[in-house]
Structure 1
Amino acid sequence: MTMIAQSQIKNRLLRRFPEDAFELLAPLLEPVDLPMKRLLVRPRMPIEHVYFLESGVASMVAESADGKRAEIRHIGREGIAGYPVVLGVDRTPNSIFMQVAGYGLQVATPEFVPILEHAEVRQLLLRYVHTCELQLAHSALAAAKFTMHQRLARWLLMCHDRIGGNDLPLTHELLALMLGVRRAGVTNELHILEGMHAIKSTRGNVRILDRNMLIEIAGGCYGVPEQEYERLIETSAQPPIPPVHLNDKSPSQHSLNGRP
C-alpha cells in the first residue's frame, strides 16, 4: 500500500499535523469515495471511523425526540467528521451525512485514538473542536437574531468556503434542512438573493455570482468562527500549553495563556 504524502493532502487539519505525527497516521489512512447522503456518523451508534474530508461537504444534523431535524453545522476540508472521539466520546445523538459528494481519508477509531497522545496533535484538534463550538453558537445566534435571507447567505458562504469553484450542488430539500424551514420558504429566499444579483439558482445548483454581496447580506452572522479558525489553526504557530498539575503548590506561577 502506497503511503500518502502530507504535501498531497488537501485537508487543512491534516496539513497542520506535525511531521512525526503524520508519519504515524499515514499508514492508517484509507482513501474513500463519499457519495451524496452517505452516513459518516450514525446517531447513538459507536463512531467507527474518523473522516478527514478532502472534498465535498458533510452536514451535522440534530434530531428532536419527536423527529424534527435541522442541520447545525458544516464539515469540509477544514475539519473532520467524528470529532467527538477527540473528547473521549464514543457516540453522539447527532448524525453526519454527505451533503455534497466528495472523497476523504478514513481511519478506524481504535487506530486514531492513540495519535491523540501526541501533545501537538491533541492541542490542534482541541482548537478545532473550539471552532466547531463557535460555529454551533453562531448558528443559534443567526437563528435567533437574523433574517431568513441573511441566514441563507451565511450557509451559502459556508458551503462556498468548503467547495472549490462557484457552483454549489445544493437542492432545495437540503437548503430547507439547513435553514429549518419548508422548501417553499427556501425558494422565496433564493429569489431575494437572486434579485440582489448575489447568486443564480437553478435546479439542484446555486451559483455564487458575487461573494462580497453575500457577505454584505449575511452581515454579522458570518465571519467570527471563520476568523477564529484562521487564527488558531491556519496561522497559529503557538507552542503547546503546558499542563497544570492539581498538586502544584504554586498555581499563581501559571498564567491563563500557559506562560510563566
Structure 2
Amino acid sequence: MTFIRQSRIVNRLLRRFPEDAFDLLAPILEPIDLPAKHSLVLPHKPIEHVCFLESGLASMVAESADGKSVEIRHIEGIAGYPVLLGVDRTPNSVFMQVPGHGLQVATENFLPILEHVEVRQLLLRYVHTCELQLAHTALAAAKFNMHQRLARWLLMCHDRLDGNDLALTHEFLALMLGVRRAGVTDELHILEGMHAIKSTRGNVRILNRDMLIEIAGGCYGVPEQEYDRLIENSPQPSTLPVHLNGIRHHHTF
C-alpha cells in the first residue's frame, strides 16, 4: 500500500484537511487515471465513490426528461459531493471533459471521516461555494450575453487547467453554453476579434486573461472570491506546493 503524503497533494480541498483526519483518509485513497468521458457520477445511480480531482476538468451536467442537456458547473474539488448532504444519488451526471487523475475512495469508507468536526465544517463550506457557482451560472444565463458567458466559462476552465492552452472542443463549449456548435464558433470569433483568445480545432489559447475578465464583466468573480475566503484562505496544515489542482493560485476554485 502506497502512503500518500499530504504535502504532495494538489487538490486544494484535501490539502486543507486537518492532519489527523488526513492520516485516517490517506490509507484508503486510491490513485486513479481519469480519461476524457470517464463517468464519475451516473444519473439516478448510487454514488459508490467520491473522487478528489488532482488534475483535469470534470463537468456536472443536468439533463431534461426529453434529453436536452447543459453543463451547470465544473467540479474542482470532489466529485460525488451530494453524499456530504446525506444524498446517495442525483439526477445529474459528472464526467471528465479534460483527462487527468484523482484520488478515489469508496463512499462507505469516506462517510465516517465526516464525523470529524473540522472536516465537516470545511466540506459544508465547500458545498456552499458549489451552490454559489450554480447561482451565478443561472445569473449569467439570464442577464449576460453569449460572449460574456463564454468568457466566464473560459476563465473558469483556465482557472482549473495548467497553462494557457485549453483542450476544449466546440462540442464541450456548446454544452457549457447550452447552444448549438455553430453558435459557439460565432462567439469564439467575437473573442478572437478582441484579441483575448486564439481558437483552433480542439483547443482554445488564452492570449489575454485580463481582457477576458473585462469581457465577462460581473458574471465572473464573486464565487471565486467566496471560495478564496472560505477555502483557499483557511488555515493550512503545512507548507504546501504552489501548484493547485491544475488551478491557479490567484483566484478560483
Which bin holds the TM-score, normalised by the shorter protein?
Answer: over 0.9
Deviation at 1:160, TM superposition (A): 0.5
Q: Is the counterpart of residue 232 in structure 1 residue 222 in structure 2?
A: no
Tell me the equivalent position of 2:83.
Answer: 85
Tell me the equivalent position of 2:17.
Answer: 17
Deviation at 1:2, TM superposition (A): 1.5
Tell me the equivalent position of 2:207.
Answer: 209
Tell me the equivalent position of 1:94.
Answer: 92
TM-score, normalised with respect to structure 1: 0.90
Higher Cα Rg: structure 1 or 2? 1
Q: Is the 8 A contact 2:53 2:101 kept in 1?
A: yes
Q: Is the counterpart of residue 122 in structure 1 residue 117 in structure 2?
A: no
Tell me the equivalent position of 1:154.
Answer: 152
SS in 1 for 2:163: coil
Once residues 212 and 48 of structure 2 are traced to their aligned partners in structure 1, the CA distance between those partners, rounded to angstroms, is 38
SS in 2 for 1:116: helix
Which structure 1 residue ranges, 5 or more long, are not aligned?
238-260
SS in 1 for 2:158: helix
Tell me the equivalent position of 2:178.
Answer: 180
Which structure 2 residue ranges, 5 or more long, are not aligned?
236-253
Tell me the equivalent position of 1:48.
Answer: 48
- Counterpart residue identity of residue 196, structure 1: M
Tell me the equivalent position of 2:244.
Answer: none
TM-score, normalised with respect to structure 2: 0.92
CA RMSD of aligned residues (A): 0.9
Deviation at 1:188, TM superposition (A): 0.2
SS in 2 for 1:178: helix
- Counterpart residue identity of residue 69, structure 2: R
RCO higher in 1 or 2 (8 Å CA, sep ≥ 6)? 2
- Counterpart residue identity of residue 155, structure 1: W
Runs of 4+ residues over 3 Å off in structure 1: none
Once residues 63 and 124 of structure 1 are traced to their aligned partners in structure 2, the CA distance between those partners, rounded to angstroms, is 29
Tell me the equivalent position of 2:59.
Answer: 59
Tell me the equivalent position of 1:220.
Answer: 218
Aligned length: 236
Once residues 193 and 47 of structure 2 are traced to their aligned partners in structure 1, the CA distance between those partners, rounded to angstroms, is 43
Q: Is the 8 A contact 2:16 2:234 kept in 1?
A: no
- Counterpart residue identity of residue 138, structure 2: A
Deviation at 1:236, TM superposition (A): 2.7
- Counterpart residue identity of residue 159, structure 2: D
Tell me the equivalent position of 1:252.
Answer: none
